[in-house]
Each structure stands twice: as C-alpha cells, then as structure tokens.
Structure 1
C-alpha cells in the first residue's frame, strides 16, 4: 500500500505537472500544502476563486484543468457546491497557497464516478489547487 503523494512540478500560477510515485493511491482524503500563501484564510461559506488541475490517480492527462482553459473557477466552498473532498480540504488555507489533494471516490464522485469526464467509480482523484482569492 502506497502512502506517498505525487510529486508536483511548477510553482503557484504555473500549470502543474503531476508525477505519481506508484500505481496505488494512498488511503483516505489527503492534502499537502505545497506553497503557503500569505493572504486571507479561506473559510467555509466563502466564495473562493481558484485555478485547478485534476487527474485520475496514475493517468498522465488531466480530466479537467482551469489552468489549461486559462480561466479560474469561482464557487462557494464548504457548502456542497463542489465535491466533498474540496469542501473538506480547501477551507483553512490562505490565499496564495498551492494545495495537492488526493480524493478517494467517497469524497469525489462516488461509486458512479463521472463517466463523461473519464472518471470511474473506484478512481482516486488528484488535484493541484492554487487559491487566488476568497470573499
């Protein structure tokens, strides 16, 4: 069983490159702060603006990336507007932070997955999230 998180190349603002240490994802919901920002802290109920890059564990291509679209996303955090893994890991971090999040299915899209995005029901998702602003 692997407990290592992926290696991320690129700094805050750069499109990340994710390298997986093994074929097996770690168990449970994991978050690592790759860079600590010095802006305001994100709180549950805030509207947060982020850039993000999401891959299925072990895949070499993103299933979704606001970095690649060159358009950040904004949404309520901690209030059920996004997957549970984001609601539980993004609050408490500062604006300017870069997070690496490993999200097992029960905190992502569940047993049904998201077939339109190529996500299976047993896939672990990996996101790199740059927190741009919060209000």
Structure 2
C-alpha cells in the first residue's frame, strides 16, 4: 500500500510540472490528439466513478485519461498502470495532467477491462471538491 501511495505522490509531483493550456481541456471534448474512449473501445460513454473518458492513444496504457462529468466539465485525470509492468521495473515519467489543481487522489486495483486488459492500478486525481461525487453517478 505504501508503494502505491508513494507512486501516486510521484505522479502528482511530475504532473504538476507538465505544462499545457488547461483552458483547452476544461470542457468536453478536448482537442486532438484526444479521442473519446467509448468511440474506440466497447465501453459505455459514461463510466460511473471515472466519467466520460478521453485519451491520447499514443500515451496508452498509462494515460492520462481525462474524465468529464455529465455537464462536460473536466473533473479527473486518471492513470491506468499495469501492475505487471510496474513489478518488472517499467516507469511512467512525465505523465500529463488535465488540470493542475488537484483536491484529492484515489488509488485502487482494477482486474482489467477493454483497453487495459491486464490487472492495473487506477490513480485518479480529482480536480475539485465535488468531482468524485459528480463522477459517481
């Protein structure tokens, strides 16, 4: 558990240094190279807990995935890091972040799903106090 928390803290620290124009990501849809995940994978348009996801295909599997709420507001940045790759020493450096403001972080296990089939960790950076609640339903 400590390793996962340390990993999330490292992600947060490197993400803050990643510069981009946040205004182009704040509302759905973001500009290219992002694609809506449900347009390219057999997943629903809105995933409870994550939102409507967009990703740059070149950054898979880690992401960042941009999670938008039902009103199209960017609410979370999500990383999906395969556990086997982490165990084997793969590092994910200089990962982007949707918005630089992060109010909380969740890290949890996922057994796999279309797009990231192997067991992996979800690292979810919420961008405002109500984001987790808005993405839950």
Report the TM-score when normalising by structure 2.
Answer: 0.29
The structure with more strand, counted as a fraction of residues = 1
Higher relative contact order (CA 8 A, sep 6+): 1
Report the TM-score when normalising by structure 1.
Answer: 0.29
